[in-house]
Chain A
Amino acid sequence: MTPQIELVDVQKHYGSFHALKDINLTVPKGQFVALVGPSGCGKSTLLRSIAGLERISGGTLRIEAQVVNDLPPRKRDLAMVFQSYALYPHMSVRDNLTYALRLNGVSKAERAKAAEEVAGVIGLEDLLDRKPRELSGGQRQRVAMGRAIIREPKAFLFDEPLSNLDAALRVRMRKEVRALHDRIGATSVYVTHDQIEAMTMADHVVVLRAGVIEQQGAPMELYDRPANRFVAGFIGSPAMNFVPGALTGAGTVRLELPGSPEIGVEMGGEAGRAVTVGLRPEHLIVGREEGAKIPVTIGAVEQTGSSCYLFTEGDPEVLVTTEGTSAIRAGDAVSLHVAPGHVHLFDPKTGLTLRG
């Protein structure tokens, strides 16, 4: 099956600034792909390049097997939802929804029918005659979505569409967007800086940094087997702890923490080799009496009710999360255990994951 969108060695230069480097990405039909990364990583540039709002400087961009490098946006048949929604302020909701159809020469009667249909899908039947300024943030967001789905385009492009909504609405819309994607069998490329959005919504997550794809794969693959320290730190919340250490050569690694504790790893390697040890906060267990022990003193405690964040004293600080409430207070001495099979090792220089 030909992929819906395919990028091969795509480059983008702005003057001397190399914004996108050797981007290779394949989006099969029906897939939900999230582009995620810190601000300035090139994820929006990549999306805008797919849309045709930016012209790529090198490589090949195909949509349904057709090379579209030099096609203007209007000939690519993609729909885009903008962060600011970009609703046309001088048009009613109905006209906003049907603008693309009007440009494509669809008759007025058919446009009206399509508008009613889409308004039903997004739940805005009563607001069709309003102007965008008379709508709430959530309603505007829905109109922006509606404007995209009315066209039945080859793919949907989302540029941080939920970032202007408040937290509760964002969580709800997350589910709705994904449900909509599944219902209409769409192909979606979704840009976000929020790794939780990426993890929860997407089938395939692409992590970008400084214009380079650091890793791409299924959300849980990125979580369980990060390719490097950057991805390991970026995916997962709260972020992974990184502790310097050294291999002992006997299937353990010695941490550079007070008491030089050793924890088991599935890796031999040469004794004394310096490594960075990655430990996820949720994989550290407080005070159970089996496995390797790491003696620490708790420096601070944050309770949220559903979980408890324990920060150790000293440098590097290690964060441990436990479920529910905890009786541990700042100043308590405890020992940490590592859930077996959840130790990540990275090369301290290159940041690449080391595997045994």
Chain B
Amino acid sequence: MSALTNRLMLAAALALAAIYLFPLYWMYVTSLKTQSSIFAVPPEFLPGTPQWQNYVTIWELANIPRFMGNSLFIAVGVTAITGLFGAGCAYVLARYRNVWIDAALFTILMLQVLPPSLMVTPIFVGFSWAGLLEYPRIAAILAISAKTMPFFVILCRAAFMTVPRELEEAALVDGNSRAGAFFMIVLPLARNGILISALLVFMQGFGEYVYSASIIADNRLQPASIGMTNYLQPNQVNWNAIMAFAATYVTPILAAFVLLQRQIVNGLTAGALK
């Protein structure tokens, strides 16, 4: 490829990135503006004097620690359940090949297709009948896990498939039991893929909205994704407060992504290339 085409491609990539990232930028900028400058015409692309106190106000006023704590609780719960059950499932699906495995894989992919807004009603009815709504955060964790599980299993399966079967057999001959070979050979070799998949599940759990909104009625138990919407009222919208809340909410996730982006890309493409 010539140097010119290279540059054109780079320019196109930057332009697309700018379009994708603009809302993020606008969120940060708006969170630092005064109420009046938000609606200024022409729009201000840089805040005049950054209104840092927006963050201080929202931190205290909106119970951010409580909401973030609930989000964290749900995300950790979802990751733990998904990781614990999903890894074993993915391993079996990676190691055996027959009609039943194919059927199971197809079913799992189908589950992934179902949107939460469709699933939430039957799940709500089922949980209500089972008495699970008494423990709304646990119920939300279970519901969200059902959504993240197929996603995790598919990704994890790819990670396990990169571990050659002969390594496991070598371990068996060397004196490992089946379980020993899994924990000492297979798991360490698939570790990166599993961790990355778990991280993605964690982020899904951290930002989840639909199930939490339907299942968790008690304001004190709601995660940040719902807490934020308290600032969207029919008649007045406190934009800079919402944006400051949103910025506080997504910055940890963004930071994790930026720090781990290389590993995430490697983990996702594991097995695609030899």
Contact = CB atoms under 8 A, between A and B. Distances in A.
Nearest to A79: B173
Interface in A33-74: 51-53, 72-74
Nearest to B177: A74
A168 interface: no
Which of A51, A53, A74, A90 is packed against the most chain B CB atoms within 10 Å? A74
Interface in B146-190: 164, 166-167, 169-178, 180, 185, 188-189
A89 interface: yes
B39 to A, nearest CB: 58
B59 to A, nearest CB: 44
A74 B185 CA distance: 15
Nearest to B172: A73
Nearest to B180: A103
A57 B172 CA distance: 20
B164 A90 contact: no
Nearest to B170: A86
Nearest to B166: A86
A80 B170 contact: yes
A103 B173 contact: no
B188 A53 contact: no
A88 B178 CA distance: 16
B239 to A, nearest CB: 51
A29 B171 CA distance: 25
Contacts of A78: 173
Contacts of A80: 169-170, 173
Contacts of B175: 74, 100, 103-104
A84 B164 contact: yes
Contacts of A223: none
Nearest to B191: A90
A82 interface: yes
A201 to B, nearest CB: 21
A332 B170 CA distance: 57
Nearest to B181: A74
Contacts of B164: 84, 86
Contact of B166 (A72, A79, A84, A151): A84
Contacts of B174: 74, 79, 99-100, 103, 147, 151
24 contacts: A51-B169, A51-B173, A52-B172, A52-B173, A53-B169, A53-B173, A72-B177, A73-B172, A74-B173, A74-B175, A74-B177, A78-B173, A80-B170, A86-B169, A86-B170, A88-B170, A88-B171, A89-B167, A89-B189, A90-B189, A99-B171, A103-B174, A104-B175, A157-B173
Task: Name the 7 nearest CB pairs between A and B, nearest first.
Answer: A86-B170, A103-B175, A100-B174, A86-B166, A73-B172, A74-B175, A80-B173
Interface of B: 164, 166-167, 169-178, 180, 185, 188-189
